[in-house]
């Protein structure tokens, strides 16, 4: 029987999962799927390694009302696939590892309790990340489960990049700049190490531009500074999230406009960013295709803020050797990359238009400036490899 690993990436309205075949210290995906539309129009879909559909099943909103129901349905689907495999563990994406976890951890009762303590730091995400862990513990208490944190990669930031300019005691209470997207940054910097080790040792900015977006500055593969802060609202404008905002606006909305904290929270997380700016869509493809001036302005705002973030991070790093684009927009939009890079001539950045248009890996023009690359991210693979490493080390 060959060994298998299961990876779970749970959000509030969907759970993505992948089943990996393990060979030594490597893992290759066998089945990838997602259960979307939790509580609205739940649908479980999965494909095998050849791309063939292995399940496509809809449920009623009552059947799959919450993430725990979704995990039961996914576990029911996966169990029969495991008759010829020895499932050695499950790796989970957990958004918040708090101030101290700087590496993945094996989940036991005490760890689970600690992670529940971080729910107030990320109320939208942490609870839904922990539900699948609980469901799997009920069904298979013997199975090792590993939590891989989005914040862990950033815990080594210098203090000056970890603080807000707020009273000191808030820092001790956990009000810090946690970062996020750390699994993606760790994967991409590892992929760069394979491609060009000398660049991976240098000063690197990675722009993770998807529905959620952030940028991270690294030296020798270690995160030094990132645009996301205490929550995943800070930094770059995103599909529906506002990005960095004058905190006085929040006070104004509550004190002058009479909005409740919940209403403001909903606006900042769901009605802002590209959606708010354009009044049309949170989807970059739709905005790029539109001839509405508000759509053009939203794209321009996004590109300006990404370029500003690269310049800011280059200051933290003391220079820039390479810039990497990743995630949906970063990997697939030559136009956004070109418009970001056009603003970065002052850092010596210059693109090869043909290579950029073809989404090639190396997209900078020949010359002395920083290298510019496109590297697809794979957070699930990062979770699989980190989980495997921890299981092997503790076996
Ligand atoms: P998620 O954070 O949901 O995983 P993705 O990394 O898949 O998000 O990124 C989603 C974003 O990528 C959307 O704004 C989508 O419009 C954008 N996107 C995907 N393909 C393209 C493309 N060819 N050109 C421009 N934007 C794209």
- Mutating to test ligand 1, I would choose from 13, 183, 211 the residue with most ligand atoms within 8 A of its C-beta, which is 211
Q: What is the pLDDT of residues 59-104, one digit of tens each?
A: 999 999 998 999 999 999 999 988 889 999 999 999 999 988 999 9
37 φ, ψ to 5°?
70, 35
Sign of CA dihedral 384, 385, 390, 391: positive
Average pLDDT value for residue range 141-155? 96
Q: Percent of the chain having pLDDT more than 70? A: 100
- Mutating to test ligand 1, I would choose from 34, 210, 275, 382 the residue with most ligand atoms within 8 A of its C-beta, which is 210
How close is the Cα of 330 to the center of ligand 1, in Å? 8
Is any atom of ligand 1 closer than 6 Å to the C-beta of 240? no
pLDDT at 214: 97
Nearest CA to ligand 1 atom 12: 328
pLDDT at 216: 98
The DSSP code for 358 is: T
Mean pLDDT of the chain: 95
- Out of 69, 150, 225, 234, which one is annotated catalytic? 150
How close is the Cα of 228 to the center of ligand 1, in Å? 19
With a cut of 80, say whether residue 117 has pLDDT above it.
yes
How many C-beta atoms lie closer than 10 Å to residue 383's C-beta?
28
Is any atom of ligand 1 closer than 6 Å to the C-beta of 327? yes
Q: What is the pLDDT of residues 295-316, one digit of tens each?
A: 999 999 999 999 999 999 999 9
- Name every residue whose Cβ is closer than 8 Å to that of residue 263 and which is 6 or more positions away in sequence: 253
Question: Does 150 participate in catalysis according to the annotation?
Answer: yes
Domains of the chain (ranges; CATH) run 2-149 (3.30.420.40), 197-374 (3.30.420.40)
Q: How far apart are CA 315 and CA 131, in angstroms?
A: 40
With a cut of 90, say whether residue 195 has pLDDT above it.
yes
How close is the Cα of 208 to the center of ligand 1, in Å? 11
Q: What is the pLDDT of residues 6-35, one digit of tens each?
A: 999 998 788 999 999 999 889 999 999 999
How close is the Cα of 209 to the center of ligand 1, in Å? 8
Is any atom of ligand 1 closer than 6 Å to the C-beta of 299? no
Is any atom of ligand 1 closer than 6 Å to the C-beta of 332? yes
Is any atom of ligand 1 closer than 6 Å to the C-beta of 239? yes
Residue (of 207, 69, 88, 175) closest to 128 by Cα position:
69
Give the atom of ligand 1 at the shortest distance from the alpha carbon of 208.
6
SS3 state at 41 = coil
In contact, 36 and 16? CB cutoff 8 Å: no
Q: How far apart are CA 335 and CA 90, in angstroms?
A: 38
pTM: 0.94
Q: How far apart are CA 226 and CA 184, in angstroms?
A: 13
With a cut of 90, say whether residue 125 has pLDDT above it.
no
Q: What is the pLDDT of residues 242-296, one digit of tens each?
A: 999 999 999 999 999 999 999 999 999 999 999 999 999 999 999 999 999 999 9
70 φ, ψ to 5°?
-65, -40
Angle of CA points 224, 227, 229, to nearest 5°? 95
Average pLDDT value for residue range 327-334? 97
Is any atom of ligand 1 closer than 6 Å to the C-beta of 132? no
How close is the Cα of 9 to the center of ligand 1, in Å? 18
For residue 146, what are the β-bridge partners? 91, 106
pLDDT at 124: 74
Q: How far apart are CA 349 and CA 347, in angstroms?
A: 6
Q: How far apart are CA 30 and CA 35, in angstroms?
A: 17
pLDDT at 14: 87
The count of C-alpha atoms lying within 13 angstroms of the C-alpha of 70, restricted to the half-sphere facing its C-beta, is: 33
pLDDT at 122: 81
Is any atom of ligand 1 closer than 6 Å to the C-beta of 284? yes
Average pLDDT value for residue range 236-245? 96
Q: How far apart are CA 273 and CA 127, in angstroms?
A: 24
């Amino acid at each position: 029987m060959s060994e298998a690993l299961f990876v779970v990436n749970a959000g509030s309205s969907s759970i993505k999962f992948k089943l990996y075949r393990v060979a030594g210290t490597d893992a290759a995906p066998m089945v990838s799927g997602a259960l979307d539309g939790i509580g609205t129009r739940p649908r479980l879909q999965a494909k095998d390694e050849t791309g063939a559909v292995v399940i496509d099943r809809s449920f009623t909103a009552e059947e799959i009302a919450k993430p725990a129901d979704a995990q039961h349905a996914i576990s029911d689907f996966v169990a029969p696939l495991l008759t010829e495999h020895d499932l050695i563990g499950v790796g989970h994406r957990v958004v918040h590892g708090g101030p101290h976890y700087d590496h993945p951890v094996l989940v036991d009762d005490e760890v689970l309790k600690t992670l529940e303590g971080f729910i107030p730091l990320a109320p939208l995400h942490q609870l839904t990340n922990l539900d699948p862990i609980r469901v799997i513990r009920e069904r298979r208490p013997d199975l090792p489960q590993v939590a891989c944190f989005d914040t862990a990669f950033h815990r080594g930031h210098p203090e000056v990049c970890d603080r807000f300019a707020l009273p000191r005691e808030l820092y001790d209470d956990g009000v810090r700049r946690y970062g996020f997207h750390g699994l993606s940054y760790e994967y991409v910097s590892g992929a760069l190490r394979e491609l060009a080790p000398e660049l991976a040792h240098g000063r690197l900015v990675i722009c993770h531009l998807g529905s959620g977006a952030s940028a991270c500055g690294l030296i020798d593969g270690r995160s030094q500074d990132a645009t996301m802060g205490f929550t995943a609202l800070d930094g770059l404008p995103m599909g529906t999230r506002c990005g960095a905002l004058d905190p006085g606006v929040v006070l104004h909305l509550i004190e002058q406009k009479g909005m409740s904290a919940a209403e403001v929270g909903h606006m900042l997380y769901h009605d802002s960013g590209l959606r708010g700016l354009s009044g049309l869509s949170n989807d970059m493809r739709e905005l790029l295709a539109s001839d509405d001036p508000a759509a053009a302005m939203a794209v321009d705002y996004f590109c300006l803020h990404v370029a500003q973030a690269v310049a800011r991070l280059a200051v933290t790093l003391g220079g820039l050797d390479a810039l990497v684009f990743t995630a949906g927009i970063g990997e697939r939009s030559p136009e956004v990359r070109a418009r970001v890079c056009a603003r970065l001539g002052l850092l010596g950045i210059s693109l090869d238009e043909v290579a950029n248009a073809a989404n090639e890996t190396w997209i900078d023009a020949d010359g002395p400036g920083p290298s510019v690359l496109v590297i697809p991210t794979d957070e699930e693979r990062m979770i699989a490899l980190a989980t495997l490493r921890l299981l092997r080390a503790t076996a």
